[in-house]
Structure 1
Amino acid sequence: MKKLAVVLLIFIGFGCASKQEYYLFTSFREPATDGLYLAYSEDGYQWEDLKGPYLKPETGASKIMRDPSIVRGKDDVYHMVWTTEWRGGNGFGYASSTDLINWSEQQYIPVMQHEPDVVNVWAPEIFYDDEADRYIIIWASTIPFRYEKGAEDEENNHRMYYTTTKDFKIFSDTKLFLEPGFSVIDCVIVKRAKDDYALIIKDNTRPNRNLKVGFGKTPLGPFTNISEPYTGFLSEGPSFIKKDGKYVIYYDNYGEKNYKAVSTEDFKTFEDVSSEISLPEGHKHGTITTISKSVLSKLIEKSKEK
């Protein structure tokens, strides 16, 4: 009986260990021509470099990869989108993988081809809408003389747009996602509960260039009650984890050339936790997802080759 109990404990312990999840942070390195870099963390604060590149950009006129945004979708398939051009493009890059090492053929998704005057397609962000079983992709684009502006140039007056897909083969028509009355980029959708969503945004007006948050009842908004800034001047590229009932929001504090983070329970009060985080040197903003122990083990082995 004792032997059976020991065997059962070992089996149960192994089963729990095999289900352990780790955080994975996508990244790139300037000048963004190498491709995808990765880092992982057990606690969501201290990040270990997995090096790179894991996917060299092959799509888009500029052949660059900036702002790689990833989501763990159904059947543990990872879907990733990224910026392919600073200027001149009308779409973004897309690829998928089950292990983050072997990737599908890269696609270029021309979501703004219907707008001949579009200046750019920046920082696409992917979100899995589990309520409607679909993927929502949002991004920032400038269409000169389309909207009111402040001190920005016409070619730097962004609004957010979106498309949806279930299979990454058929995409819905592009529509306006957010028009807050000012230039805005780098939005991230956060599902807090059913019918309760937050939207992390960057106010890209010249005097601000900082992070704020809005609130809505669906992942497509409308998002209202946009807050005052909770980060300093020249900050962007937010990504987040949820842990122990709190949200930790990472952001690129590019004015001071470092990374920072804040913690919040309600998106109304924010605590600076920058002293508690550590990221690989050169890390540039992407997004955070989760991976299994088996996926991480393979990535660690692959990183030893780089």
Structure 2
Amino acid sequence: MQAYLFVHFREKRTPDGEQVYFGISEDGFRWEAVNGGAPVLWSYEGDKGVRDCTITRTTDGRFVIMGTDLSLAYGMPNQYDGSWEEITRNGSTSLVMWESENLVDWSEQRMVELGDESFGCLWAPDITYDSENDEYVVHWSSAHRSDDFEEKAIYYARTESFEEFSEPELLYRKPDSGVIDSAMYEENGSYYCFLKSEANPAGIILLKAQRPTGPFTRVTAFDRTMEGLEGERYEAPTAVKLEDGRWCLFVDYFGGSPETQGYVPFVAESLEDEFVRAADEFSFPYGFKHGTVLPITGEEYDRLKAYEKEPSER
């Protein structure tokens, strides 16, 4: 049996929201909380918060979680002085990381510094396996000193083992707007990258390349999926191939109050087909915020369903 794990954070005004939460599903449609809806992992280093989580299963069977090193609950009233621009320019140049062999016993938190003084905050990492080179491409969005931190672009670093990382390089820059929230998938020998475009259009767009590091071209047919939606209100795309062969794309709606925010699902036969909104078929225990879906086994599902962690446990 194939099941699914959704690693995410929660939109709350308290520090416990910006931590790592797990949701699980047997079919990818109906989701339930792990650990009673409490965090599975807490960030105790850096900004002491973690947002925009991603997870991958490595070729040797390990699990790696990475995320944005940021806590609005702590940082906005303090070092960032209530300013998103201050975070963009002077936020953390590290990503938060944990590793596990079984999804329940996790390593100590690591801070992986991938940016230098030329980078602003490193946002929303994603991990893509490069089968041709047998290594992983970690990509994220950042503003950069080269254009006075104006428009965000997507950067990447390579790693074979998540111990050492290459120097960051540019993955994709959109000429007429910033881009954030890259999420990349391989299908039929091509790599497809969903992004949030900040303008022209404001919404989720889709790119395609023959290699995970590009060069990328726009898949303009995908724009039909976003037609009629408040595109600027959607971000943080994540997708998963369901057991029946269809693809499910989740996009994070951030309009309205924190209680009404969370992922909205769309379904398509392939990544180049039109995605159809399927909200009525899905259910969530609460609003999942910016995360990643990972296929898991039935045994892993059962292990996570039974997982409980005391609030005092790190």
Shift of the alpha carbon at 1:32? 7.3
Paired with 2:194 and 2:247, the residues of 1 have a C-alpha distance of 12
Match of 1:33 among 15, 34, 51: 15
One of 289, 292, 301 as aligned partner of 2:297: 292
Equivalences for 1:1-306 in 2 at 5 Å? Answer: 20-29=1-10, 30-31=12-13, 33-34=15-16, 35-50=19-34, 51-60=37-46, 62-85=47-70, 87=87, 88-113=91-116, 116-144=117-145, 146-147=146-147, 155=149, 157-181=151-175, 182-194=177-189, 196-205=190-199, 208-227=201-220, 228=223, 230-231=225-226, 232=229, 233=231, 234-243=233-242, 244-256=244-256, 257-264=261-268, 265-303=270-308
- Preserved contact between residue 211 and residue 230 of structure 1 (Cα < 8 Å): no
Moved more, 222-231 or 64-73: 222-231
Q: Calculate the TM-score normalised by the size of structure 2.
A: 0.81
Q: Distance in 2 between matches of 1:259 and 1:192?
A: 23
Distance 1:252 1:21, change over 3 A: same
> Structure 2 vs 1, CA of residues 64 and 266 (structure 1 numbering), >3 Å: closer, same or farther?
closer
- The structure having more radius of gyration, on CA atoms, is 1
4+ aligned runs moved over 4 Å, structure 1: none
| Aligned residues with identical type, % of pairs | 29
Q: Do the aligned residues in 2 keep the contact of 1:215 with 1:226 (CA within 8 Å)? A: yes
**1:179-224 CA distances to partner (integer Å, 9 max, x unpaired)?**
1212000011110022x1111111023x743101011111111111
Please tell me the root mean square deviation across aligned C-alpha atoms, in Å: 2.1
Distance 2:62 2:94 in 1: 22
- Give the direction of change, closer, same or farther, for the CA distance of 1:258–1:292 in structure 2 (3 Å limit): closer
Matched residue type, 1:162: Y
Once the two structures are superposed, what CA deviation does each residue of 1:3-62 show, in whole Å capped at 9, x if it has no partner?
xxxxxxxxxxxxxxxxx23100001123573321111111111111112311111232x1
Q: 1:95 to 1:193 in 2, by over 3 A?
A: same
Unaligned runs of 5+ in 2: 72-86
8 Å contact 2:192–2:271 — kept in the other structure?
A: no
Deviation at 1:225, TM superposition (A): 2.5
Question: What is the TM-score normalised by the length of structure 1?
Answer: 0.83
CA distance in 2, matches of 1:127, 1:33: 29
Query: Where does the alignment leave 5 or more consecutive residues of structure 1 unmatched?
Result: 1-19, 148-153
Contact persistence 1:33–1:65 (CA under 8 A): no
Distance in 2 separating the partners of 1:156 and 1:24: 35
**Cα deviation, residue 303, structure 1:** 3.6
Residues 1:108 and 1:49: Cα distance change in structure 2 (over 3 Å): same
The one-letter code matched in structure 2 to 1:135 is Y
Indicate if the aligned counterparts of 2:53 and 2:292 stay in contact, CA closer than 8 A.
yes
Residue 272 of structure 1, CA deviation: 1.2
